Structure 1
Amino acid sequence: MNRLNATTKYKGVIYAMVTAFLWGFLPIFLKVALQDIDPISIVWFRFSFAFAVLFLYYLFTDRKQLNIIKRPPLILIIAAIALGVNYIGFLQGLNYTSPSNAQIIIQSGPIMLALAGVIFFKERLNLKQMIGFGIAGIGLFLFYRNQLQEFIHDTNAFNLGFFWVELAAVTWVLYAVLQKKLVQQYPAQVLNMVLYGIPALIYTPMADFSAFSGLDLKTWAIVIFLGINTLIAYGSIALAFKYTEAYKVSIIVTLNPIITLLTMAVLAKLQVDWIQTENLNLFSLIGAILVIGGAVTAVFFSREKKKKAMAKSTT
């Protein structure tokens, strides 16, 4: 039984890693999409695309799951509205700052989620896991040292970009806490269908449909990727919440800015002209190593306890 439980939790870790990977590329593609489409229309398309895929899936495979659309639980409605605010907040923040700066600010979300896991779900951290959090925190500070300095001196980004992205972080935590509760009672993707559908409905009157009529093939590919990213990333994180603790999901999600910054560094080397790029220095590289090391410690150091529990159960 303990071995099965351990396997299930590692499954949750894998799902969280899929989300972190996809979210690492997300702000870069969003920033490019903003050159041709307004934020609300992008958000509307992402939610509508993801909802349509899940709705059609259940329409042809298990129609009884569609009954949740008629009477969704109240906390699911609240979670959906929070997710809708999260999307527009992050995208508006990207309008006023860079992908890297947006990723710096949004990291307050996973940190608040980790605290919420301890407070609301009574999740316990052992000493070695807390040390892992500490290492990851130091790593994040070193990793973003230069970017933070530039960000603080940019008053426009601070006033507008910070506000919007921090709003996105707070509402994401609200969504995540409610999703963590709901996913224990309902299928994860059924919940996601409603979580996508309600914001899509809310943003429909505000979307500029004409913005999509003149898009070239490259921009359409980016927009479709954003829809697929929503579908897979949030589908994966819902399953991660189902199979493992919220604090583990939060520490893994903090890895996604590493992917963003490394990708931006590669683009800088390639000297692309379609997005403003940034370079990594020695502090950033050391910080990246510490973040990854701290995350591994925090997530996987519970093995010792599990082995002891398994040993006791066999004696």
Structure 2
Amino acid sequence: MNRQVQVHSALFLVALIYGANYSIAKEIMPAYVLPFGLIVIRVVSAVLVFGAISLFITKEKVTGRDDWARIALCGLFGITINQLSFFSGLNLTSPINASLIQTVSPVVVLLMSSFLLKERLKIFRMVGILLAGLGAMLLISGRAGQDAQGHMLGDLLVLLNAASYGVFLVLVKPLMQKYNAITVVSRVFLVGSLGVVPFGLQQVMAPDYAAFSAHVWAAIAFVIIGMTILAYLLNVWAMKYASPSLVGVYIYLQPVFAILIAVGLGKDVFTWQKALYAAMIFGGVYLVSKPKKTTV
């Protein structure tokens, strides 16, 4: 198998894992483990695995107070706020809504880069921000029925998750350029876990794990091994060889897989209104992510 096929296979598998996570995590929450408890299971597992890899394989150390301060901010936005808002939001909203709202992260990245790096926004990117934002707001507000308030809160929490992850991507970039990716992520997960554990400690201790069926344990194993460890390692490896545009194409596949899996399992319904709002979000994100033209 040549390198190009390996890269495409890795990115495809990552998109499939992330897409499946929206429905599989709903199998666990809230019937068996509450959201914050599931976060503790996921984050602590990641700390142990990535910490072991960093300690025994990469053996690289982070130096300097400024780098540790940046890691602390990355842990806050990339793990603590990101995870708490995502799983609590997914617990309240539908898999399709959560997957579509997640795609606004590139918009936040552009806004934060413009604010922190003083980059000038082009007109077409400003249009993209407005279009994606309008699509997300319509998707969030387009609820009717008895559970509308809970679903809307879930959508807003997922939006907070997407925003915090966008901030994290901007903050972590200088660290990724200076250190090995495993070195960075092991420290970020460690710092982020300090903010997660106090919220989820009671929830992670509450369930009767001995009573869990093999089906529930398989879902938990998927979240830990597939979503947290395998997907990250595959993504990091693929990004060494893939162009940003190729990675972007596969990111767009995540909500497609999420929709197909959710509808196939009967977890959600894809309506024409959601299709319209999805088109607005995808169109806006495309304008925001469109590469600059270069002259030869």
Alpha-carbon shift at residue 37 of structure 1 (Å) = 0.4
Match of 1:171? 164
Alignment of 1:255-270 (within 5 A): 255-268=253-266
Q: Root-mean-square deviation (CA), in Å?
A: 4.6
Q: Is the 8 A contact 1:27 1:94 kept in 2?
A: yes
- 1:54 is the counterpart of 2:50: yes
- 1:151 is the counterpart of 2:148: no
Q: Is the 8 A contact 2:92 2:154 kept in 1?
A: yes
**Structure showing greater Rg:** 1
Residue type matched to 1:195 in 2? V
Q: State the alpha-carbon separation in 1 of the partners of residues 8 and 116 from structure 2.
A: 20
1:111 to 107, 111, 114: 107
Please give the per-residue CA displacement for 1:271-294, whole angstroms capped at 9, x wherever unaligned. xxxxx3314559839967x959x9
Alignment of 1:38-187 (within 5 A): 38-62=34-58, 64-65=59-60, 67-68=61-62, 73-82=68-77, 83-117=79-113, 120=116, 150-151=142-143, 155-157=148-150, 159-187=152-180
Q: Is the 8 A contact 1:16 1:249 kept in 2?
A: yes
Residue type matched to 2:105 in 1? G
Q: State the alpha-carbon separation in 2 of the partners of residues 120 and 107 from structure 1.
A: 21
Gaps of 5+ in 1: 1-6, 269-275, 310-315
Alpha-carbon shift at residue 12 of structure 1 (Å) = 9.3
Q: State the alpha-carbon separation in 1 of the partners of residues 53 and 105 from structure 2.
A: 31
Q: How many residues align?
A: 281
Alpha-carbon shift at residue 233 of structure 1 (Å) = 3.3
Please give the per-residue CA displacement for 1:165-204, whole angstroms capped at 9, x wherever unaligned. 2221221122111122211111111111112222334333
Match of 2:268? 277
Structure 1 residues 38, 166: CA separation in 2 closer, same or farther (over 3 Å shift)? same
Could you tell me the TM-score, scaled by structure 2's length? 0.72
- 1:233 is the counterpart of 2:231: yes
Q: State the alpha-carbon separation in 1 of the partners of residues 241 and 118 from structure 2.
A: 16
Alpha-carbon shift at residue 58 of structure 1 (Å) = 3.1
Match of 1:223? 220
Q: State the alpha-carbon separation in 1 of the partners of residues 233 and 205 from structure 2.
A: 26
Identity percentage over the alignment?
A: 22
Q: Is the 8 A contact 1:50 1:231 kept in 2?
A: yes
2:22 to 24, 27, 36: 27
Q: Is the 8 A contact 1:117 1:246 kept in 2?
A: no
Could you tell me the TM-score, scaled by structure 1's length? 0.68
